[in-house]
Every structure is written in structure tokens, then in C-alpha cells.
Amino acid sequence: MARLYGIRLATLHSAMLKITILDSASELRFRLEGKLSGPWVSELQQCWLTASSTTGGRGTVADLRGVDFVDPAGQQLLTDMHSAGVRLQAVSPLIRTLVDEISRRGACATVEGSARTPASDAVVRTQTSGTH
């Protein structure tokens, strides 16, 4: 049974982001509704950094099914979250395209090691800077 951890509601004129944090035995879920833009990007970042310190190895999900807009700062935060292992969920074509782009960037990797390094000891580094 998931428990409701907290709800943050942020408003600025007509822009609004609702952040609901659901904490269960299997995962920590951030359910977002509205626009991930402007000052609400840092609000989500603060919620994520604070709540993620309590995950104890559980998965974390950013549920973007209720999001209808993401500005560049929001996209960067989602990229950072994804790079840290947060799973992104989306259903609308616009947000799904954004999540696909973030996932593709995170999938680019290089294998580092010398000719003398056994393949099992090579280090895989994922690039998230957008340059591949």
C-alpha cells in the first residue's frame, strides 16, 4: 500500500505544477501534473533531492503523464534525473518524444580501457551532455 508522502502545489499566474510524492515499499514516485517550467523546476529538483535521500535502493519514477509542457530547464532536470537512474513515464506525444530524446542521449556510451585491460574490467561511461 503506497502512502501519500506530500503534495506541493505551485502557482504563478496560469502556470501551475502539482507534485505528488508517493512512497511505497517498492518505489518512490513523483507524480507531476501541469507545466514543468520556470521556478517549478527548482521546486521539483528540491523535492527530488530531499526525497531521494530516503529511497534505500528502491526505484524512483517520475510520472509525467499529467505534464503538458516542459521548458529547457525542466528538460535538463529530467535529463539529470534520468542519468541518476530515475525512470521517466509519459503518455502524451509531446512528452513521450521528450522522454525518448532524453533516453537516447543517456544510451550513448563509450567503453574505456587499454589493450591490456580484460573486457570484464573495462569501464562503461554514459554520456549525457548531448555530444556523442
The predicted-structure confidence for 43-98, as pLDDT tens digits, reads as follows 999 999 998 888 888 999 999 999 999 999 999 999 999 999 999 999 999 999 99
pLDDT at 111: 43
Report pLDDT digits (tens) over 100-114.
999 998 664 434 444
Specify if 132 maps to a domain: no
Classify residue 36: in a domain, yes or no: yes
This prediction has a pTM of 0.71
Q: How many domains does the chain have?
A: 1
The CATH number of whichever domain residue 20 belongs to comes to 3.30.750.24
Cβ-in-10-Å burial (0-12, 13-18, 19+) of 75 comes to: middle
Structural domain containing residue 44:
3-126
Which among 86, 130, 81 is positioned nearest to 107, based on CA atoms?
Answer: 130
Q: Which of 28-32, 77-81, 115-119 has the lowest mean pLDDT?
A: 115-119
Q: Is residue 131 part of a domain?
A: no
